[in-house]
Each structure stands twice: as C-alpha cells, then as structure tokens.
Amino acid sequence: MTLRHSIALLLTATLAASCTTDDGMNASNSDSARVAIIDGVVWTGVPGSALAEAVLVEGDSITFVGSTASVLERAGDAQVVSAHGGSILPGFIDSHVHLLEGGYRLSSVQLRDASTPEEFSRRIGAYAATIEPGEWITGGDWDHELWGGELPHRKWIDELTPDNPVWVNRLDGHMALANSLAMEIAGIDDPGDVAGGTIERDADGLTGVFKDNAMALVGSHQPTPSLSARERALHTAMRYLAAQGVTSVHDMDGSSGTFEALRSLRDKDSLTTRVYLATPLSRWRDALQRADAVAKDDHWLRVGALKGFVDGSLGSHTAAFFDPFTDAPDDRGLLVVEPDAMYEDILAADREGLQLMIHAIGDRANALLLDMFERLAAERGPRDRRPRIEHAQHLRPSDIPRFASLDVIASMQPYHAIDDGRWADRVIGPERARTTYAFRSLLDAGARVSFGSDWFVAPPTPLEGIAAAVTRQTLDGRNPGGWVPEQRISVAEALVAYTRSAAYAEFQENLKGTLEVGKLADIVVLDRDILAVDGEDLKNASVAATFVGGELVFGAADVIGDEP
C-alpha cells in the first residue's frame, strides 16, 4: 500500500466516522465542512442542463457545480473525493417505504426466497430455535407463487413453533399466516366474514391465512416494541438505505409508535435519512397535531401527508377490478373501505391543507380514486394539492390521461413490475397487462411519475428499480426483452422519477432532487457512468458513496491529496 493510499484511507475513515457513529449524526451538526466531489459525470437533474464533472459542498448545501478544474480552484482546504469517472447524482428519494417495519425485517425470519413449503416451514422452525419462548415471529415476506401458488397453512408450522406465536406476512403485506398459538392468543375461533377482508378456511376450519382488513384480528394482538427497540430498528433501516444511495424517504407507516421514535431520534440529532411521514387517512387530526410538534422548516422530519387504501393487492386477489380475475372468474377483488366514508375523510383533510397519498392497485380502485380527486377539485376549487395514487398499478387505458389532466402524481414502484410480471398474465390476462405498471404511457400522457420501493414489500434499491423500469426483465429470467416492453423508459427518465419528481411529490423541489447551488447536499456517487451503460450493465452498477447534507453516511470514497 502506498503512502498516498494510506493517507486517502485515513482521511476517508475520518470523514465517515464523523457521521456514521452508532448514534448517527445530522448534517446540521456540521462545522461548515467543505467537500469537493470531482472526476465524475454529474447529472444535475435540471431540465436542459449540460453534464458537469464536479460538485462543491459547504456545510449542508451545494455551493458550486462545474468542471473538476473549476471546483478545485474554489476548493481551498476542502476534502476532495474522486468519483473515478462514476456518476454523481442527486440523492435517491424513495417515495414509498414502511421505514420502521423495514428495519425490523432486516433481523426477522427471511422467507422471500423460500421456494418450497418444506423450506418455508424449515426456516420458521430454525428461527424459532434462536429466540426465547413467547417471542413473536413476524415479517417473513413469503411468496407462495414460488412453490406454485398454494397458500401456506398453520399445520405446516404448528409443531415447529409450539412456544412462539407466528404471524408472517406475504411479501405484499396484504395477507399473513398465523400459527395456532397466535390465533389462540388473539381469541380467534371462527369470527365470520370481515368487511374488506378475507379469512381462508378448509374442511378443518381456519387455515391461518388472513387477508387485508381481516389481518387486524391477529395483528392487533402483537406486543408493542419498546421505544429503544424502535430506535434500533430505525437506525438499522437508515444504515441500509444509505448503502443503497437513498437520502430521503416518504414513510407510509405513520403509526404513533413510528412518529414517537422518529421524533426521539430527531431530538437527538440522530437521523441520517430525511423522512416525510404519512399518517393514516382516517386519523387526519393526528397529522395536524404531529405537524405542530415538529419545526416547520425542519429538513429531516416532516409531517403533512395522509395514507389511505382503496383496495388490496394483486398477489392476494384482493385488488379491485372491473372484470373478474382471469384465473378466478367469480372474483373481482374487493374494496377495503366504504367509498363515501373515504371521501368524507378526503374532504376533511383537504380543508386542513394535508396531502393525500392513497393506495390503489386494481383498475376499478384507480378509477374510483381518480373520480374522488376530480370531485374534490370541483367541490373545493383549485389549489396546489399534489394528490398521489400509490402504486397506480393496473389502469384502464381511458384513465391514463386523467393523471395529467387532474394533476395526480403516479407514485410507482418499478421493482414490482419485474416481480409480479412472472405471473400477472395468468391472473389478469395479457390485455390488462398492457397497461400494468404503465410507466411509458403515463409519461407520454404528461403525468408526473415518482418512484419508490414499497420496502418492506420490495427491496429499497433504486439501482434495481432503475434497471427494472428500463429493461422490465422479470426476476425469473423468462422475459429477456422485457415484460410488456412497450412500457420501458430511459435511464434518465427513471432518474428523474427517483429524484426531481420524488422531491416534487413531497413539496420539496426547491430544496432537493437536483444538484444546484443552494440546494441540500444530498448526493450519491456510483461506481460507473449510469447514463453510458446498457440495460444489462445497469444490474452491475453499485453505490460507491452517499452524502446527506454534505456528510458521508456510506462508502469509502478515495480522498485525494498531494503525495508528500
């Protein structure tokens, strides 16, 4: 190792240690640190701007963007970080996560790739052997499509988990499996039908699978984690997000426990990811109280959005469609809310100036929600609402132009397309699939599209999301030319959806989402020029460094200095 390389590593470690301690650190704690990121391909995200080579940061803001030579002229005693020809981009903004749950999932039983019922059961049993009796086994994120579509059954796991309640969900979060102990704790025998939900039964009674609204019968009996446990989960989540180049998130998990933990970390200056927290739509009054509890100009923790649900999910057959499922001719899915009651909440929230972020999967659910937004604008008059449809997955062709005409943001998750694309044709048929995850059609119609992951449902990995949007190659490798390839978009369009449009989707486009003088220094450095690679090589790109407010929160980027 050369002396110069040793110095580079030492300076890098010093820079990293200043912001990645166990307790975390905000850019607001910076003593006007100066950083120059040079020798890269700077995609600023500003429409019509030319590519640059370097960015200069002072404190938590960008002070100059230009050539490497011009930045070095202004750098003074700044620490100099080389991108080695890689991309220098605005920090990725994940427009849809469940942050606290994502942190929990990183340490829970892992079932996402369990490909047989036997493997599913084995992993749960093995995990049970590592924890104390009485502890709940949650998370999991199983995918029954991997073993042919048969739903799991409590009998698969009862003998393996006699002392631990089990409540493991499908990867979409719209159905879960309970073992007999969990149902016993919940006091469930056979509760009958649940509005907006489904309880699976067979000849022996309840199978242990509960869908959508019925999930509360078991889920509500889980013990509440302590504040310290929630804070640890959030730290785990933020460290993982930093490694993916994610600098901001729109958090859909607006429970009181999540808000309490986020506010506690903010009070300790321990957030390393910027969070825009949504509150459940029916609890819009809570959002007003929370907004009063945080600073109006806080760039780290903000409250002001509301999350609602119209329907369930495709994989659970609870998405609401006009026509029946192709593989279930008597089933059109379901609405998880009574529309008139939802509209009353929407009206009340709009009177208070709150933003609406509402989940809709099936074409009927999306059409119904667009109708509500159109009615809202007609009854309440024009204002800058920026309503969002979360997922906007399956659309009637006639509804696609309505997103632009009604100024509705399509908040979408491209990874879902390459996941669901393995089996969606079987469930909804090829005709409806043509406008499923309709990225190209929505952009061509003038709609604003923001991208996210829906983590824990899918991984919070923007580079995988970009590759998914650009190639639409499904996870099973069976669509090398892309599933519904006419809906593919370009790398630059996908970058906009993860940066500038995502910032717009949270009313923050004047602060972040592009690399411009005066904006927050939320920056990600990639190991290659992502605009110059083909679709296949996109999958090999990786994050080299992530900065939030000018502080290095992930990476070991080389710090270049004169060799003594």
Peptide bond into 456 cis (omega under 30): yes
Cα distance between residue 65 and residue 53, in whole Å? 8
Give the residue from 269, 293, 267 showing the smallest Cα distance to 277: 293
| pLDDT, position 3 | 27
| pLDDT, position 4 | 28
| pLDDT, position 562 | 40
Neighbours of 125 (CB within 10 A): 17
Cα distance between residue 411 and residue 449, in whole Å? 6
CA-based angle 529:533:539, to the nearest 5?
A: 100
| pLDDT, position 82 | 95
Cα distance between residue 329 and residue 318, in whole Å? 14
Own/partner long-range contacts of 154-159 (Cβ < 8 Å, ≥24 apart): 154/178, 154/179, 154/180, 154/183, 154/206, 154/207, 154/208, 156/117, 156/120, 156/121, 157/121, 157/124, 157/125
Give the residue from 145, 450, 77 showing the smallest Cα distance to 317: 145
The residue ranges of DSSP E strands in 67-225, in sequence order, are 79-82, 87-90, 92-97, 109-110, 137-142, 166-170, 175-178, 197-202, 205-212
Own/partner long-range contacts of 320-326 (Cβ < 8 Å, ≥24 apart): 320/361, 320/362, 320/364, 320/365, 320/368, 321/362, 321/363, 321/364, 321/394, 321/428, 321/432, 322/363, 322/364, 322/367, 322/396, 323/432, 325/427, 325/428, 326/426, 326/427, 326/428, 326/429
Q: Which letter, b or e, does each residue of 42-51 get, where b requires 16 or more Cβ atoms within 10 Å of its Cβ?
A: bbbbeeeeee
Helix (H, G, I), strand (E, B), or coil: what is residue 526?
Answer: strand
| pLDDT, position 536 | 75
Helix (H, G, I), strand (E, B), or coil: what is residue 547?
Answer: strand
- Compute the radius of gyration of the chain from its Cα atoms: 24
| Helix (H) or strand (E) segment spanning residue 525 | strand 523-526
Q: Which letter, b or e, does each residue of 78-94 get, where b requires 16 or more Cβ atoms within 10 Å of its Cβ?
A: bbbbbbeebbbbbbbbb
Alpha-carbon dihedral sign for residues 366, 370, 371, 372: positive
What's the order of all strands across the beta sheet hosting 205-212? 109-110, 137-142, 166-170, 175-178, 205-212, 197-202
Retrieve residue 413's tokens.
Answer: 């998750």
| pLDDT, position 32 | 56
| Alpha helical stretches, state H, 381-446 | 400-405, 414-420, 424-433, 439-444
Neighbours of 524 (CB within 10 A): 28
Does residue 552 contact residue 19 with C-beta atoms inside 8 Å?
Answer: yes
Cα distance between residue 38 and residue 41, in whole Å? 9
pLDDT digits (tens, 9 = 90+) for 222-261: 888 889 889 989 999 999 999 999 999 999 998 899 999 9
| pLDDT, position 172 | 86
Q: pTM for the whole thing?
A: 0.85
DSSP string computed for 156-172: GTGGG-TTS-EEEEETT
| Helix (H) or strand (E) segment spanning residue 409 | strand 409-412
Torsion of CA 462, 144, 174, 101, to 10 degrees: -50
Q: Structural domains in the chain?
A: 3-91+518-555 (2.30.40.10), 109-219 (3.10.310.70)
| pLDDT, position 33 | 64
| pLDDT, position 556 | 67
Which residues does the chain have with pLDDT short of 50?
A: 1-31, 557, 559-564
Does residue 129 contact residue 142 with C-beta atoms inside 8 Å?
Answer: no
